[in-house]
Structure 1
Amino acid sequence: MEILILIVSLLFVFVGIAGSVLPALPGPPLSWIGLLILYTMPNIKFDYWILGITFVFTLIIVILDYVIPAQGTKRFGGSKYGIWGTNIGLIVGILAPIPFGFIIGPFVGAFIGELIYDQNDSKRALKAATGSFFGFLASTFIKFVFCMILFGIYIHTVWKYWSVWF
């Protein structure tokens, strides 16, 4: 039974790592659930501190995942129209059946939003769309690094209690 719990928790962590790059999957929450499942094993001491701290960081990263692309648009001179376009484009990009829609969506959304704001300034619209793309890349990088940290905690915990199982 313990081997099954190990396998299921490891699958959650791996799917979380994949989800840090694929926006259709909530990467950090899935990795955190894998860590939680690991700590429910009978021979592993339940560590409230590690789970509590990583849970808080998971919540922060989930929120930042929606904020960072919009802030990238704003930093590159985008208006509220561009920020709204980024958010709408992210949602449409995730739901659209086109490859890499989650990357293209925020870029196109910010561009269209800025063109709605000012039709005559396509250069500014392109700059804001570029900011949205960089924000998306930054957000993805943060999620990936955090999921790898959770994977490291997982490996450390399994290594620490390995002799109990075998």
Structure 2
Amino acid sequence: MTTVALIIAILLFILGLLGTVLPILPGAILIYGGMLIYGLMTGFATLDFSFYFIQGLVFAFIFLVDYLATAAGTRRFGGSKQAGWGAAAGMIVGLFFGPLGILVGPFLGAVGAELLRKTEFNQAIRVGFGTLVGLLGGTIIKLGVEILMIIYFFIKI
């Protein structure tokens, strides 16, 4: 049973990492889910409450990274709070349009919010670009953290 549990966990880890880059799949959820399934299938023989608690905190951090990285990129390139909210709204709408929507949505949301504030067009585009920089930077951070989660899993089993 341990071998089957490990195979399922590894498959979910792979899908999770792919989901971080291709936001069609819920990356962090699949990774954490793989760990939970492994624990359930093995009777939590090697993974205790503290393991899942620590991983749960890291899991929550990964969700914060999305918002914080995008907002930081937006602000770093001169965007307003409204641009940050526009980027967040654009990200939500972009989810319905696949991977391209995940990139275009926040960009258009930030640009649109800045234009509504009567910001010059070139500056609004700059803010949109900053949003993309933050989003891509956040993705890199999330991948790194997820890889650390997986390494910690293998250390503990």
1:146 equivalent in alignment to 2:145: yes
Root-mean-square deviation over aligned CA pairs: 2.0
Deviations 1:50-88 (A, max 9, x none): 221121011121122123212321221112331122112
C-alpha contact 1:28 1:146 (8 A) present in aligned 2: no
Q: Any stretches of 5+ residues in structure 2 without a counterpart?
A: none
Residue 89 (structure 2) aligns with:
88
Q: Any stretches of 5+ residues in structure 1 without a counterpart?
A: 159-166
Aligned residues: 156
Q: Which runs of 4+ in 1 moved over 6 A?
A: none
Deviations 1:71-129 (A, max 9, x none): 321221112331122112111221125x522112111221111111115x112101211
Structure in which a larger fraction of residues adopt helix: 2
Residue 133 (structure 1) aligns with:
132
C-alpha contact 2:95 2:102 (8 A) present in aligned 1: yes
Amino acid at match of 2:146: C
C-alpha contact 2:47 2:156 (8 A) present in aligned 1: no
TM-score calculated relative to the size of structure 1: 0.82
TM-score calculated relative to the size of structure 2: 0.86
Q: Which moved more, 1:39-48 or 1:4-13?
A: 39-48
Deviations 1:21-75 (A, max 9, x none): 1223221222122122223314832333222112101112112212321232122
